[in-house]
Amino acid sequence: MARPRQQDTKQLLDAATQLFWRQGFAATGTREIELALGLKSPAIYHRFHSKHGLFCASLRHYIESVIDWRIRHYLDAEDALTGLCAFFESIPQNAKRFQQPSSCLLVNTSLERASADEEIQACLHEGTHKIFLALRSNLLRLQAQHLLAPNAEIDQLADNLQLQLFGLLVSSRLNNEHHSLADKARHIIATLPITATTGANE
């Protein structure tokens, strides 16, 4: 019995996302896409219309499978402070674990000329806005639990954290920066107006 088309699409997008994540849009050729997906170009284009269409679908898949997972696993964790710390500390841990640092597909795409494309820009905005909202929600919970200064400007803090997050991810692309990533991640949390450390780093 043939597998459901939905499952096939997920497997194809898993493979395409990993490929674009490693290499970027411009550096990924048709033959590499065929090998990664196990399909010939006509079948790929029938499903996704073009390389551009496949890339946009991969960006959305990345947001749903990677960004959403990280938000649920870290920023939405029951212990908000521990989750926030782990969210940032996981970046140097991942950079150390993988020989070829992959950073973040959203960050990598933002650094490519492909990001000038209107549809790609919309995908990037969707992903980065989702991260901002998750950071904001986490900070609001910290404030409600009296772990964050009551006069803290939540939106500004969330915006600053997002900028620092992307800076950390860019640094993770550089092998000579890996030794200092953990210190940078800890410094990001240390600069927050945290009023208590209950539950963090246990």
147-194 pLDDT, tens per residue? 999 999 999 999 999 999 999 998 888 766 667 888 999 999 999 999
Residue 6 has pLDDT above 80, yes or no: no
140-150 pLDDT, tens per residue? 999 999 999 99
Q: What separation in angstroms does the CA of 19 have from each of 24, 84, 102, 112, 137?
A: 8, 29, 10, 15, 32
Length of the chain in terms of residues written = 202
57-76 pLDDT, tens per residue? 999 999 999 999 999 999 99
Q: 28 falls in which pLDDT band (50, 70, 90)?
A: very high
Domain 60-190, what architecture?
A: Orthogonal Bundle (1.10)
DSSP string covering the chain: -PPPHHHHHHHHHHHHHHHHHHH-STT--HHHHHHHHTS-HHHHHHHHSSHHHHHHHHHHHHIIIIIHHHIIIIITSSSHHHHHHHHHHHHHHHHHH-SS----HHHHHHTSGGGGSHHHHHHHHHHHHHHHHHHHHHHHHHHHTT-B-TT--HHHHHHHHHHHHHHHHHHHT-GGGHHHHHHHHHHHHHTS-BS--TTTT-
Whole-number pLDDT of residue 113? 78
Q: 29 falls in which pLDDT band (50, 70, 90)?
A: very high
Residue 199 has pLDDT above 50, yes or no: no
Q: Where are the domains of the chain?
A: 60-190
SS3 77: coil
Distance CA 85, CA 36 (A): 35
Weakest-pLDDT range from 42-56, 93-107, 174-188: 93-107
Q: 2 falls in which pLDDT band (50, 70, 90)?
A: very low
Output the furthest CA–CA distance in the chain (Å, rounded): 60
pTM of the shown model: 0.87
Residue 8 has pLDDT above 90, yes or no: no
Whole-number pLDDT of residue 200? 46
Whole-number pLDDT of residue 58? 96
